[in-house]
Amino acid sequence: MRDAAASIRSWPLWRKLVVGLLVVGMIIITFTVKVPSLATMNAWAAGTGRWFVMVFVFGYVVVTQFPIPRTIFTLSSGVLFGPWLGIVVALTATTVSAAVSLSVVRYFLGDWMAPRLAHPAVAGINARLRARGWLAVTSLRMIAGVPFSVLNYAAALTSVPLVGFTVATLVGSAPGTIATVFLGNTLTGKADPTIMVITVCLTCVGVLGLVFDRKLPVREG
């Protein structure tokens, strides 16, 4: 803790201010901002016209930078845009959001975290993520209980490559996102038990992927 505090004190003033504002802003937004309802999004769609797809993607990316569940946006993609365009919109926004989160957190905290990744307690985990982080990220994206934003933050503090992380997010998020978009009409009716079955199956696949990754040796160098 003392080492971490000393490292933060050595930051230039602008970085302290920016990180401080980001942390305060994240806390305020997380606890005060309400995710817009489907009715509100429909009203925005009517008022924005053909530009609504871009506005929706932008809003999706911005909101999911914070620890706010993205499910409502994914479901809304299916309701507002139909299944096929909805899948493209949701997966594009999800992938871009993850890449932005990782890049921003790594930019501000990467230099501070880098020397700590050599500590014996985390060096092995970091080496595994650097060599084969795509498998762990893909598996974790399939597990519904793993928060989207939290995984972004955690990955940013490791050496997992940006490209591998981004592709793994796309691949790992695709099955659940596609299923959720297709079942977007559950917002206006009773929940379809199919979505629960799909969620459980994806969670099992994700856990198996993590077990496989744990058993598979990491190549040196």
136-180 confidence digits (pLDDT tens): 888 888 887 788 888 888 888 888 889 999 999 998 888 888 888
User: Is residue 58 over pLDDT 60?
Assistant: yes
3-state secondary structure of 32: helix
> For all residues of the chain together, what is the average pLDDT?
77
Task: Give dist(CA 94, CA 195) in Å, integer.
Answer: 19
* Res 29: pLDDT: 64
Task: Give dist(CA 111, CA 8) in Å, integer.
Answer: 10
User: Is residue 219 over pLDDT 70?
Assistant: no
pLDDT confidence band for 123 (50 / 70 / 90)? low
Sign, CA torsion 90/71/130/3: positive
pLDDT tens for each residue of 95-112: 999 999 999 988 887 777
Task: Give dist(CA 42, CA 60) in Å, integer.
Answer: 15
User: Is residue 188 over pLDDT 60?
Assistant: no
Please give the average per-residue pLDDT across 187-215, as a whole number: 67
Q: For residue 82, is it left (φ>0), alpha (ψ between -120 and 50) or beta?
A: left
Lowest mean pLDDT among 45-54, 62-71, 97-106, 147-156: 45-54
What is the pTM (predicted TM-score) of this model? 0.72
Name the one residue in this structure whose structure tokens are 């009517």.
46
Tell me the two tokens of residue 29: 């937004």
Helix extents (H) in 33-147:
38-48, 52-63, 71-81, 83-113, 120-141
3-state secondary structure of 219: coil
Q: Which residue has the higher pLDDT, 118 or 28?
A: 28
User: Alpha carbon of 87 to those of 1, 6, 15, 207: distances in Å?
Assistant: 44, 46, 37, 24
pLDDT confidence band for 117 (50 / 70 / 90)? low
* Res 1: pLDDT: 47
User: Is residue 61 over pLDDT 50?
Assistant: yes
Sign, CA torsion 180/185/187/189: negative
Q: For residue 49, is it left (φ>0), alpha (ψ between -120 and 50) or beta?
A: left
Task: Give dist(CA 145, CA 137) in Å, integer.
Answer: 14
pLDDT confidence band for 43 (50 / 70 / 90)? confident
